[in-house]
C-alpha cells in the first residue's frame, strides 16, 4: 500500500500546493456515502486560490511546459510514466474511488484501468499532432497549417467517475501541450488530488496540473472569466453546463461539454430477451444508475413486455446492496441526500400517477449503514410524461413503457432534450440500420451497451453536450489551428 494515497496524506498534499494561503480557514468534509461518515476535511478554496493556480498554469504554459521546449516525445514519455504510476497504484486508487464515491470495488478497478488507458491513448496522440501543407492562392505562396495547444485549460468534473473524468480531460490537455487547473466535484476530490500527485511524481511541472476545489461557483466564475484560461472542459449537469457556457461567452473561450443524458433502451419483439435483460441491468444500474449513459427510459414492445419485465425482476431481486469495499456487494449507495431525494420523488410521482411498482421503491439500510442506499427499483406501465421516464433519473430505477410500433418507439426515444447514448435490441438487419440511423444520439448501441472506449468518440447531441472526448478526434478539442502563409 502507498501511504501517500491515504485520504489524510492526500489532504496534506492538496494543502501543500497552496503554501502562502494559510488564510483559508473554512473546510469541507469528504464523505463515505455508504457509511455516511467523514473521510477527511479539505480547505474550501475559492476565487483567490483559483487565480493563483491559473497564474501558475499560465507560467508553466509559457516556460516549463512550453511546446517550443517540450517535444512531443517528451510529452509522450511523461504521460507513459504517469500511466505506469496509475497502474502500479491501481489497488489503492480503486479503493479511494470506492471510499469517496461508493461504487463497488470491481467497478472502481475498471474505472481506474480505463483512466490509465486514456492516458496511454493520449500519450500516443501527443506524437500524432500533425500539421498540413496547403496550396497558396498565388504562384509564389505556400501555406502551412500548424496545430498548437490552446493554452491553460479549466477542467470541471463530476463525482460519478471521480477518476476517469479527470484522465480523459487532463490526458489530452497535457498531450496537446496545454496546462490544466482541475476543479473536481467536492463530493469526490481525493481521486483528483491523487492523480495530480502522481502526475507530479511522473515529472509534470507542478504548475502544469493543479487541483482546486471548495466553492464551486466562485471557482467556476474565476475559471470562466480569466483571460488566461483559453478553454473550459466540463462534465456534469446540463444546467451547470449552460451556465458555464454563458459565462465563458464573455471571453469567447473554447468549451467542451459532456452533459446529462436520459438514455432510451428499446426492446423490439424480435430481441434476444435474456441478452437484452442482462445488458439493461448492466447499463441501467451501473454505479447505482449514476452514469450519464445509463439506460434510463426503457421501451418494450407490447408482445414481449411482460416476459421481459419478469426476467428483469428475477435478476434484480438477487442484487446485493452494501459497502463497495465488501466483495459481495453488487450495488453501492447513491452519492448524497439530494440524489436520494430526487429518486424518491420520481418514484412517488410514478406510483401516484398509476404506474405499477414491481420491485423496490424504497430507501434501505444494508448492514445497518446510514448511507444513501436505494433499492433497485422496477416500474412498469409508466406514462410518457412521468418524471422517472422524461428526466434523467440518476438512480437504480428502471421505468418500462409499452410500445406498439417501430415508429412510435423511435419517436418516443427521440422526444427528449437529451441526445447522449441510446440502445436497442433486435435480431433484424433492417432494424439495426434504420434505428441506428434514426436515433438522435451521439452513441448508439445495437445489441450492445458497451459504448465507451478510448478509440471511439464520446459526446452528446442536442443538450447533452458539445465536442467529444477520446478517439482520434478528441485531441483536436485542445488544439488551435494556425495558417502560416509564406512568399517564397
Q: Which candidate in 292, 294, 388, 468 is catalytic?
A: 292
Residue nearest to ligand ADP (CB): 220
Taking CB under 6 A as the binding criterion, the range among 240-248, 281-289, 318-326, 403-411 that sits at the site for ligand ADP is 240-248
Residue count of the chain, please give it: 488
Burial class (CB in 10 A: 0-12, 13-18, 19+), 252: exposed
For residue 28, which of 254, 215, 204 has the smallest C-alpha distance? 215
Grid coordinates representing 191?
481521486
Shortest distance in whole angstroms from residue 430 CB to ligand ADP:
38
Shortest distance in whole angstroms from residue 469 CB to ligand ADP:
15
CB closer to ligand ADP out of 127 and 242: 242
Distance CA 365, CA 52 (A): 44
CB closer to ligand ADP out of 26 and 314: 26
Shortest distance in whole angstroms from residue 352 CB to ligand ADP:
25
CB closer to ligand ADP out of 183 and 390: 183
Distance CA 487, CA 143 (A): 9
State which of residues 55, 66, 225, 237 lies at the interface with ligand ADP (CB under 6 A). Answer: 237
CB 331 within 8 A of CB 288: yes
Q: What is the CA radius of gyration of the chain?
A: 23
Grid coordinates representing 424?
436497442
Assess 242 for contact with ligand ADP (CB under 6 A). no
Distance CA 342, CA 79 (A): 39
Residue 332 phi/psi, 5° resolution? -100, -165
Shortest distance in whole angstroms from residue 213 CB to ligand ADP:
7
Taking CB under 6 A as the binding criterion, the range among 237-245, 270-278, 308-316, 452-460 that sits at the site for ligand ADP is 237-245
State which of residues 67, 143, 243, 245 lies at the interface with ligand ADP (CB under 6 A). Answer: 243
Shortest distance in whole angstroms from residue 409 CB to ligand ADP:
29
Taking CB under 6 A as the binding criterion, the range among 29-37, 111-119, 232-240, 425-433 that sits at the site for ligand ADP is 232-240
Looking only at residues 99 through 158 of this chain, which bind ligand ADP when binding is defined by CB under 6 A?
Answer: 156-158
Grid coordinates representing 151?
493554452
**What is 374-424 written as a DSSP string?**
B--EEEES--TT-HHHHS---SSEEEEEEE-SHHHHHHHHH-SSEESEEEE
Taking CB under 6 A as the binding criterion, the range among 177-185, 204-212, 268-276, 301-309 that sits at the site for ligand ADP is 177-185
CB closer to ligand ADP out of 102 and 158: 158
Assess 225 for contact with ligand ADP (CB under 6 A). no
292 an active-site residue?
yes
- 3-class DSSP state of 325: coil
Shortest distance in whole angstroms from residue 44 CB to ligand ADP:
12
Assess 287 for contact with ligand ADP (CB under 6 A). no
- 3-class DSSP state of 5: helix
- β-strand partners of 419: 461
Shortest distance in whole angstroms from residue 339 CB to ligand ADP:
8
Distance CA 118, CA 132 (A): 26
CB closer to ligand ADP out of 169 and 431: 169
CB atoms within 10 A of CB 223: 30
Binding flags for ligand ADP, 180-219, as an x/- string (CB under 6 A): ---xxxx-----------------------------xx--
1 an active-site residue?
no
Rounded to 5, what percent of the chain is helix, strand, coil? 40, 25, 35
State which of residues 220, 284, 396, 459 lies at the interface with ligand ADP (CB under 6 A). Answer: 220
454 contacts: CB under 8 Å, gap ≥ 6: 114, 117, 118, 120, 121, 470, 471
Shortest distance in whole angstroms from residue 326 CB to ligand ADP:
25
CB atoms within 10 A of CB 101: 30
For residue 60, which of 174, 231, 165 has the smallest C-alpha distance? 174
CB closer to ligand ADP out of 156 and 299: 156
State which of residues 85, 190, 240, 255 lies at the interface with ligand ADP (CB under 6 A). Answer: 240
Q: Which candidate in 100, 258, 469, 477 is catalytic?
A: 258
**Which sequence positions are flagged as catalytic?**
258, 292
Site residues, ligand ADP (CB under 6 A): 156-158, 183-186, 216-217, 220, 236-237, 240, 243-244
Amino acid at each position: 500500500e502507498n501511504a501517500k494515497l491515504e485520504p489524510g496524506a492526500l489532504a496534506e498534499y492538496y494543502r501543500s500546493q497552496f503554501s502562502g494561503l494559510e488564510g483559508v480557514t473554512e473546510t469541507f468534509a469528504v464523505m463515505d456515502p455508504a457509511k455516511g461518515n467523514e473521510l477527511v476535511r479539505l480547505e474550501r478554496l475559492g476565487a483567490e486560490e483559483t487565480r493563483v493556480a491559473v497564474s501558475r498554469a499560465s507560467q508553466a504554459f509559457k516556460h516549463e511546459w512550453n511546446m517550443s521546449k517540450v517535444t512531443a516525445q517528451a510529452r509522450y514519455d511523461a504521460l507513459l510514466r504517469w500511466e505506469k504510476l496509475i497502474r502500479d497504484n491501481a489497488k489503492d486508487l480503486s479503493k479511494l474511488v470506492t471510499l469517496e464515491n461508493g461504487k463497488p470495488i470491481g467497478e472502481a478497478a475498471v474505472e481506474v484501468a480505463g483512466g490509465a488507458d486514456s492516458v496511454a491513448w493520449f500519450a500516443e496522440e501527443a506524437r500524432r499532432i500533425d500539421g498540413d501543407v496547403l496550396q497558396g492562392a498565388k504562384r509564389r505562396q505556400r501555406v502551412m497549417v500548424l496545430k498548437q495547444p490552446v493554452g491553460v485549460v479549466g477542467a470541471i468534473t463530476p463525482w460519478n467517475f471521480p477518476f476517469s473524468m479527470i484522465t480523459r480531460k487532463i490526458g489530452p490537455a497535457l498531450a496537446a501541450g496545454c496546462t490544466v487547473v482541475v476543479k473536481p466535484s467536492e463530493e469526490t476530490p481525493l481521486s483528483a488530488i491523487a492523480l495530480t500527485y502522481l502526475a507530479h511524481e511522473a515529472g509534470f511541472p507542478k504548475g502544469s496540473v493543479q487541483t482546486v476545489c471548495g466553492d464551486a461557483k466562485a471557482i467556476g466564475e474565476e475559471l470562466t472569466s480569466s483571460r488566461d484560461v483559453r478553454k473550459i472542459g466540463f462534465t456534469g449537469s446540463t444546467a451547470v453546463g449552460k451556465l458555464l457556457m454563458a459565462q465563458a461567452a464573455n471571453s469567447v473561450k473554447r468549451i467542451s461539454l459532456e452533459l446529462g443524458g436520459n438514455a432510451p433502451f428499446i426492446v423490439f419483439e424480435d430481441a434476444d430477451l435474456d441478452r437484452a435483460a442482462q445488458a439493461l441491468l448492466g447499463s441501467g444500474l451501473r454505479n447505482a444508475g449514476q452514469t450519464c449513459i445509463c439506460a434510463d427510459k426503457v421501451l418494450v414492445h407490447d408482445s414481449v413486455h411482460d416476459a421481459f419485465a419478469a426476467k428483469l425482476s428475477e435478476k434484480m431481486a438477487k442484487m446485493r446492496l452494501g459497502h463497495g469495499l465488501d466483495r459481495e456487494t453488487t450495488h453501492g449507495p447513491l452519492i448524497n441526500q439530494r440524489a436520494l431525494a430526487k429518486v424518491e420523488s420520481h418514484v412517488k410521482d410514478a406510483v401516484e400517477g398509476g404506474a405499477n411498482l414491481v420491485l423496490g421503491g424504497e430507501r434501505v439500510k444494508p448492514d445497518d449503514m446510514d448511507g444513501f442506499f436505494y433499492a433497485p427499483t422496477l416500474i412498469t406501465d409508466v406514462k410518457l410524461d412521468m418524471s422517472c421516464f422524461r428526466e434523467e433519473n440518476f438512480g437504480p430505477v428502471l421505468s418500462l413503457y409499452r410500445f406498439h410500433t417501430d415508429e412510435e418507439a423511435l419517436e418516443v426515444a427521440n422526444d427528449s432534450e437529451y441526445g447522449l447514448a441510446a440502445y436497442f435490441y433486435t435480431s433484424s438487419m433492417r432494424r439495426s440500420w434504420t434505428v441506428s440511423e434514426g436515433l438522435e444520439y451521439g452513441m448508439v448501441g445495437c445489441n450492445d451497451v458497451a459504448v465507451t472506449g478510448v478509440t471511439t468518440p464520446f459526446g452528446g447531441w442536442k443538450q447533452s453536450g458539445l465536442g467529444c472526448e477520446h478517439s482520434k478526434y478528441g485531441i483536436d478539442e485542445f488544439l488551435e489551428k494556425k495558417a502560416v502563409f509564406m512568399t517564397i
